[in-house]
């Protein structure tokens, strides 16, 4: 009888150990990742005329120089997957992002969170309706926007379906060369120029994706170009994928006010001379340099373990103080998108991404629905004579709210509401900041002075500070 009792106890002990081991495995779920891309280049016959985005009206595309893409990477650690998509267009309103999300849901058996970042390229089609043949006439082609929606949804769904066990390495670069590729002409002269990157490989070391976050307008080709192009991103994608394999995913950052290569002097390593302005070689030199800095940064990167991937999002309404935005809506430039409420507000979303392990955050990212001024990302707001709200409190800087060693900021994430300007620096009435002779660029493309306080406060609440 005693022997039978001890045999039973040994069996019970083995069962308990197995059960504990199985439960522990559930608690420390495997980090998984997948990636996919789709071409979203317009057909110049089917979508004709293709009005190009940015700079002004009636810039019609005449040929294709290189392809535009939707590039997505999916991340999970046992919880709901989060998909990050970089799309080579000027901007996507929340309305189109919701269509993409519905398309992903339709294609998947499981639910997933989706962040769509328009990379704000100025050498692709007008996806917002603001750069048509003349003022007051839309440049948005519904058939093309539908193509972008469908193919981005396809890429996002495929990224989720392709997820497999993965390893994550994080890197950064702060070399002065990054600032030299950005020009800013509004005070304070400030950039959020840090280059942040993630190398994602499967368990056997095979590349899945290289994710990069940097803040600079893709408009190196200037206002006279009529060839469809991803601008400097074309050379970046090509070189990164050649050197590292997998899929390169680029997510733009705090590009407001105005972070651009247009006024920069770019050294061309092929000629050992400055690259010719507004040329394809000018844009290629930027993309190739960015790619090499990415490769070098990841060679010195740090591998991290992740057992928690979480995305939080909140919808908010922002007062519309820009009469130009209201006139555009009344003229139906947006083709039914971005409707304003009876209270003269517009709905948008703010998001927050967290990658962590049991010891704390490893990577955090703020998802901002427009073009954030860099002083709202890294700090450095100033008080200037002539400001319309000289006593306005300073908004907390997005990256300073976070605690992770790697802190990203995704601009134009899930919406495009224009420039997001510190309220204390808002200047829509004379006298102009610093007694300038003419108004500074920015406010004309901003929804209003309340955008920054509302967005940064919401982000702070999402982070939990």
pLDDT band at residue 28 under the 50/70/90 scheme: low
Give domain status of residue 4, yes or no: no
d(CA 127, CA 89): 7
Helices (H), 310-356: 323-330
Give domain status of residue 11, yes or no: no
DSSP letter for each residue of 212-241: EEE---S-TT-SS--EE--THHHHHHHHHH
Give domain status of residue 25, yes or no: no
Give domain status of residue 12, yes or no: no
Look at the alpha carbons of 215, 397, 98, 464 in this order and tell me if their dihedral is positive or negative: positive
Give domain status of residue 6, yes or no: no
Give domain status of residue 5, yes or no: no
Q: What is the pLDDT of residue 452?
A: 98
User: How confident is the model over 280-305, as pLDDT tens digits?
Assistant: 999 999 999 999 999 999 999 999 99
What are φ and ψ of residue 384, in 5° steps?
Answer: -125, 145
Q: Retrieve residue 303's tokens.
A: 């591998």
Give domain status of residue 168, yes or no: yes
User: How confident is the model over 90-143, as pLDDT tens digits?
Assistant: 999 999 999 999 999 999 998 999 999 999 999 999 999 999 999 999 999 999
Question: What's the domain count of the chain?
Answer: 1
CB of 395 closer than 8 Å to CB of 376? yes
204 lies in which domain range? 30-465
Q: What is the pLDDT of residue 166?
A: 98
User: How confident is the model over 337-370, as pLDDT tens digits?
Assistant: 998 888 999 999 999 999 999 999 999 999 999 9
Going by C-alpha positions, the residue among 114, 369, 128, 83 that lies closest to residue 247 is 83
pLDDT band at residue 398 under the 50/70/90 scheme: very high
- Please tell me whether the overall predicted TM-score, pTM, comes out greater than 0.75 for this model: yes
Give domain status of residue 8, yes or no: no
Q: What is the pLDDT of residue 445?
A: 94
d(CA 430, CA 156): 47
């Amino acid at each position: 009888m005693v022997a039978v009792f001890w045999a039973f106890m040994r069996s019970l002990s083995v069962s308990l150990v197995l059960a504990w081991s199985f439960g522990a495995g559930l608690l420390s779920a495997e980090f998984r990742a997948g990636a996919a891309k789709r071409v979203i280049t317009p057909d110049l016959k089917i979508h004709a005329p293709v009005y190009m985005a940015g700079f002004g009206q009636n810039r019609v595309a005449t040929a294709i120089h290189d392809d535009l893409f939707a590039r997505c990477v999916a991340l999970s650690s046992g919880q709901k997957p989060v998909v990050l998509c970089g799309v080579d267009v000027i901007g996507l309103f929340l309305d189109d992002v919701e269509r993409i999300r519905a398309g992903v849901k339709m294609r998947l058996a499981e639910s997933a969170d989706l962040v769509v970042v328009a990379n704000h390229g100025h050498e692709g089609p007008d996806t917002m309706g603001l750069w048509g043949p003349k003022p007051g006439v839309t440049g948005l082609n519904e058939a093309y926007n539908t193509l972008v929606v469908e193919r981005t949804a396809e890429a996002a769904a495929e990224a989720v379906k392709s997820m497999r066990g993965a390893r994550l390495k994080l890197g950064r670069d702060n070399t002065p060369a990054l600032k030299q590729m950005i020009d800013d002409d509004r005070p304070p002269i400030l950039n959020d120029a840090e280059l942040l990157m993630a190398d994602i490989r499967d368990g056997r070391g095979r590349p899945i994706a290289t994710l990069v976050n940097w803040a600079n307008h893709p408009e190196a080709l200037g206002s006279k170009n009529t060839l469809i192009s991803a601008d400097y991103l074309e050379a970046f994608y090509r070189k990164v994928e050649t050197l590292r394999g997998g899929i390169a995913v680029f997510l733009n950052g705090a590009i407001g006010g105005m972070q651009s290569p247009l006024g920069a002097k770019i050294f061309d390593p092929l000629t050992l001379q400055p690259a010719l302005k507004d040329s394809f070689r000018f844009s290629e030199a930027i993309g190739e340099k960015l790619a090499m800095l990415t490769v070098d940064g990841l060679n010195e990167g740090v591998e991290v373990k992740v057992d928690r991937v979480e995305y939080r999002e909140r919808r908010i309404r922002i007062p519309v103080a820009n009469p130009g935005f209201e006139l555009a809506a009344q003229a139906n430039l947006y083709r039914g998108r971005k409707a304003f409420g009876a209270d003269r507000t517009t709905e948008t979303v703010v998001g927050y991404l967290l990658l962590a392990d049991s010891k704390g955050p490893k990577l955090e990212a703020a998802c901002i629905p427009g073009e954030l001024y860099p002083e709202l990302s890294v700090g450095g707001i100033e008080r200037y004579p002539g400001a319309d709200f000289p006593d306005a409190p300073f908004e907390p800087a997005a990256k300073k709210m976070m605690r992770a060693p790697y802190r990203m900021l995704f601009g134009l994430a899930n919406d495009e509401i224009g420039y997001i300007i510190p309220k204390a620096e808002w200047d829509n009435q004379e006298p102009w900041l610093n007694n300038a002779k003419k108004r500074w660029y920015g406010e004309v493309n901003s929804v209003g002075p309340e955008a920054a306080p509302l967005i940064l406060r919401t982000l702070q609440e999402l982070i939990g500070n």
